[in-house]
Amino acid sequence: MLRAFIALEIPGEIQEAIAHSLSQLQKDLPKPLIRWVASKNVHLTLKFLGDVPPANLESLAAALAEETRNHAAFSFSVGGLGAFPSPQKARVIWVGLQAPPALIALADSIDTIAARLGFTAEDRPFSPHLTIGRVSHNVSGNDFHHIRTVLDGSTIGILGTVQVDALIIFKSVLLSGGPVYSRLYTLPMKLS
């Protein structure tokens, strides 16, 4: 079994810009309160697959390769700061992006194809974001208040533009020092 997900890569210069923009936030909200994502691991998840037999992953990659050839390359801007489900009860802290219709269409087609091949369909609408931190499970009401206060006092402007020309299926290996991601499949998109 391979733990896998489908994502778009974020260029190193934008990952570095995110890390630079978060330096004060990370001082104000240190570990273990927040488990911060290593900047090299910041990506845009389109679909989490979980543990998948290699043969099923190969079938999915083949079906997605056909689909991605029908999607033209596109771009989006990265910037903004927020939390899910809300700043008052933050569980995930994210950097936002300006999602073009092409991104939403790509995510929808991925979910449709994956569901056709037996993967669980998403039960929520796609909400594009870059996860930068996860709130620990054992936080108190005071901790939530502190997180909200820090987030309310923080902003992240536009950090750059991502050019999307391929879809990536990643393998994720969970280690004590954090996850390690490696490419399994690179699925090129139609170039304009």
Q: Looking at the annotation, which residues are catalytic?
A: 43, 129
Closest to 98 measured CA to CA, from 148, 41, 44: 44
CA distance 72 to 60: 20
Structure tokens at 119: 């993967």
State how far the Cα of 106 lies from the Cα of 125, in Å rounded to an integer.
13
What is the rounded CA–CA span in Å between residue 109 and residue 167?
12
* Long-range residue pairs from 114-120, CB within 8 A, at least 24 positions apart, any chain: 114/6, 114/47, 114/49, 114/60, 116/63, 117/56, 117/59, 117/60, 117/63, 118/56, 119/47, 119/49, 119/60
b/e sequence 100-115, b meaning 16+ C-beta within 10 Å: eebbeebbebbbebbe
